[in-house]
């Protein structure tokens, strides 16, 4: 039984171009992964769009198709890649330098990877203090730089014969800024571009150029980029989907898996101490306190929103939450995260949980880039524009409508995502009530 008529979704016909501002560890692990999967050399583990199923109707109906068979998504054979970086390395060289993937996953696709060369970046050292790049655009103003990015996008579309495009920011984390008057409206922002207003960051110049070109845009980093009123306005005006921010991987993923469980069982929390060691370029950038501040703000909100101390003061009022990231080069991309969690049970008796998660940062992030690219394209074809809250599942710090608190619980986010797909296809939403089996 269907609940409502399905939304009219334009079919995923033709090629989809995936634009990546920032072609470092995450972006190249994503590209190389897609090429490996496409050539039958590896499995897309961690990707909901490639491996996930979706239950439809009652449990007795046994209908659980693959998500990619249920909704029309771009096929991996139809995607191609473009991007910008402050270093001129092609995707093969950048992937080798990032050191995430072994030769067995790079050598068979060396020619395809080597052909992907980044365009010169929009970059200002004051926004990412630990990097300086030579492969950078020169412009007479920020408006001129945005126009140059727009030209790159148009050339990419023409040269590759693309039907559609999406963009996922995989660039370094910029310093933590405060929203300024120039971010408040589209008119103020466009004037700010002409005046080269210092409060406009490079990541905002890419976002502006993409939204102007009607390209859906997701922000994988924690810095302020899309989440300003000017872009919400532009996304609405140009009917473009936007989403962000900060890929939910590693320690925060674990937090949003565990914390909902503690809260469901009404176990109290005294404190949650999280620390990491990380040795890749991202770790080096985050070693700068101003870039780390962007990350810290993104990571800290999670527990507060899941545990709702205002509703459960006896359990969660005033818990201590500390997050540290330490740059430690010997580990490269193979981050290790430790958590010490001090909880309280029956009558207030204390207990502890310890987590040691030796993970791989870009291996966890790459499937999120793929899913976001394919789902953002779906959203565009389904006529959904503005903030895509149903994609909160992928972010540490999900964007929401003004005045709405974000949903951080991974399981609620998962239900929200799947119910959105059911809604788009006119299938009954799943409430898990299940009374009908007992009537
Ligand atoms: N890996 C994860 O698990 C994870 C999780 C959440 C968020 N992130 C974020 O994703 C982003 C990418 O992570 P990474 O590990 O690939 O880092 P990385 O340092 O390997 O790659 C970032 C790339 O962006 C480039 N860059 C910086 N500023 C640029 C600009 N203005 N224009 C174009 N390119 C620019 C850098 O030269 C670099 O090659 C970071 O912001 C990181 O914080 C990563």
> Could you read off the pLDDT of 12-33 as tens digits, one per residue?
999 999 999 999 999 999 999 9
For residues 152 and 149, what is the distance between their CA atoms, to the nearest angstrom? 5
98 lines ligand 1 (CB under 6 A): yes
How large is the average pLDDT for residues 75-91? 98
Question: Ligand 1: which residue has its CA nearest to atom 12?
Answer: 170
Q: Does the pLDDT value for residue 227 go beyond 70?
A: yes
| pLDDT, averaged across the chain | 94
How large is the average pLDDT for residues 219-230? 93
| CA distances (Å), origin 415, targets 206, 312, 329, 379, 422 | 32, 24, 38, 17, 10
Amino acid 61: pLDDT: 93
How large is the average pLDDT for residues 380-409? 95
> Looking at the DSSP assignment, which residues form a beta bridge with residue 273?
322, 340
How large is the average pLDDT for residues 327-345? 93
**Ligand 1 atom nearest to CA at 223:** 41
30 lines ligand 1 (CB under 6 A): no
220 lines ligand 1 (CB under 6 A): yes
> Looking at the DSSP assignment, which residues form a beta bridge with residue 386?
241
| Crossing angle of helices 289-307 and 250-264, rounded to 10° | 20
Q: Does the pLDDT value for residue 369 go beyond 90?
A: yes
Residue-wise over 378-392: b if at least 16 C-beta within 10 A, else e?
A: bbbbbebbbbbbbbb
Please give the span between the terminal C-alpha atoms of the chain, in angstroms, as a whole number.
18
- The two beta strands, 241-244 and 268-278, are unpaired
Q: Does the pLDDT value for residue 60 go beyond 80?
A: yes
Q: Does the pLDDT value for residue 2 go beyond 90?
A: no
Amino acid 372: pLDDT: 98
Q: Does the pLDDT value for residue 325 go beyond 80?
A: yes
Q: Does the pLDDT value for residue 415 go beyond 90?
A: yes
Mind listing the pLDDT tens digit for each residue in 61-71?
999 999 999 99
Amino acid 3: pLDDT: 55
Q: Which of 64, 68, 27 is nearest to 51 (CA)?
A: 68
Mind listing the pLDDT tens digit for each residue in 237-280?
999 999 999 999 999 999 999 999 999 999 999 999 999 998 88
Cβ 135 vs Cβ 88: under 8 Å: yes
| CA distances (Å), origin 431, targets 58, 184, 324, 425, 434 | 11, 39, 38, 17, 8
The model's confidence at residue 186, banded by pLDDT at 50, 70 and 90, is very high
Amino acid 1: pLDDT: 47
Mind listing the pLDDT tens digit for each residue in 87-144?
999 999 999 999 999 999 999 999 999 999 999 999 999 888 888 888 999 999 999 9
Amino acid 69: pLDDT: 97
Alpha carbon dihedral 298, 301, 302, 307, in 10-degree steps, equals 180
Q: Which of 385, 424, 430, 413 is nearest to 71 (CA)?
A: 424
Amino acid 279: pLDDT: 87
279 lines ligand 1 (CB under 6 A): no
Residue 158 CB neighbour total at 10 angstroms: 9
Ligand 1: residue of 92, 125, 126, 172 to mutate (most ligand atoms within 8 A of CB) is: 172
How remote is the CA of residue 333 from the centroid of ligand 1, in Å? 12
For residues 265 and 263, what is the distance between their CA atoms, to the nearest angstrom? 5
Q: Does the pLDDT value for residue 204 go beyond 90?
A: yes
Q: Does the pLDDT value for residue 299 go beyond 80?
A: no
Amino acid 4: pLDDT: 65
For residues 33 and 366, what is the distance between their CA atoms, to the nearest angstrom? 8
Domains of the chain: 16-247+363-424 (3.40.50.720), 251-358 (3.30.360.10)
Q: Does the pLDDT value for residue 294 go beyond 80?
A: no
Ligand 1: residue of 19, 23, 24 to mutate (most ligand atoms within 8 A of CB) is: 24
Q: Is the peptide bond before 433 cis (omega within 30 degrees of 0)?
A: no
> Looking at the DSSP assignment, which residues form a beta bridge with residue 338?
275, 356
Amino acid 5: pLDDT: 65
Residue 43 CB neighbour total at 10 angstroms: 12
327 lines ligand 1 (CB under 6 A): no
């Amino acid at each position: 039984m269907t609940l409502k008529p399905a939304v009219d979704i334009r079919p995923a016909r033709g090629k989809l171009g995936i634009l990546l501002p920032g072609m470092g560890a995450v972006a190249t692990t994503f590209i190389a992964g897609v090429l490996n999967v496409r050539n039958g050399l590896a499995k897309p583990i961690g990707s909901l769009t490639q491996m996930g199923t979706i239950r439809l109707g009652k449990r007795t109906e046994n209908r659980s198709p693959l998500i990619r068979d249920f909704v029309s998504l771009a096929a991996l054979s139809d995607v191609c890649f473009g991007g910008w970086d402050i270093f001129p390395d092609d995707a093969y060289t950048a992937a080798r330098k990032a050191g995430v993937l072994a030769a067995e996953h790079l050598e068979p696709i060396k020619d395809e990877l080597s052909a992907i060369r980044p365009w010169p970046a929009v970059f200002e050292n004051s926004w990412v203090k630990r990097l300086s790049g030579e492969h950078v655009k020169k412009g007479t103003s920020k408006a001129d730089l945005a126009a140059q990015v727009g030209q790159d996008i148009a050339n990419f579309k023409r040269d590759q014969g693309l039907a559609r495009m999406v963009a996922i920011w995989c660039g370094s984390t910029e310093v933590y800024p405060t929203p300024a008057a120039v971010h408040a409206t589209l008119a103020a922002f466009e004037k700010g571009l002409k005046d080269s207003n210092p409060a406009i960051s490079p990541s905002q110049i890419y976002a502006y150029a993409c939204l102007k070109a009607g390209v859906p845009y997701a922000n994988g980093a924690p810095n302020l980029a899309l989440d300003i009123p000017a872009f919400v306005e532009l996304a609405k005006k140009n009917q473009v989907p936007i989403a962000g921010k900060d890929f939910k991987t590693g320690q925060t993923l674990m937090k949003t898996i565990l914390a909902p469980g503690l809260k469901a069982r009404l176990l109290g929390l005294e404190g949650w101490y999280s620390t990491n060691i990380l040795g890749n370029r991202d770790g080096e950038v985050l070693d700068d306190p101003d870039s780390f501040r962007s990350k810290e703000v993104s990571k800290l909100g999670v527990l507060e929103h899941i545990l709702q101390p205002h509703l459960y003061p006896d359990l969660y009022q005033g818990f201590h939450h500390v997050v540290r990231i330490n740059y430690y080069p010997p580990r490269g991309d193979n981050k290790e995260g430790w958590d010490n969690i001090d909880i309280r049970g029956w009558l207030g008796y204390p207990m502890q949980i310890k987590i040691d998660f030796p993970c791989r940062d870009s291996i966890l992030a790459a499937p999120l880039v793929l899913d976001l690219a394919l789902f953002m394209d779906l959203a565009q074809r389904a006529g959904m524009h503005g903030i895509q809250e149903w994609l909160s599942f992928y972010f540490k710090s999900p964007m929401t409508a003004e005045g709405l608190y974000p949903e951080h619980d991974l399981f609620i986010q998962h239900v929200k995502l799947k119910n959105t797909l059911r809604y788009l296809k006119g299938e009954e939403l799943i409430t898990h009530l299940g009374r009908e089996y007992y009537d």
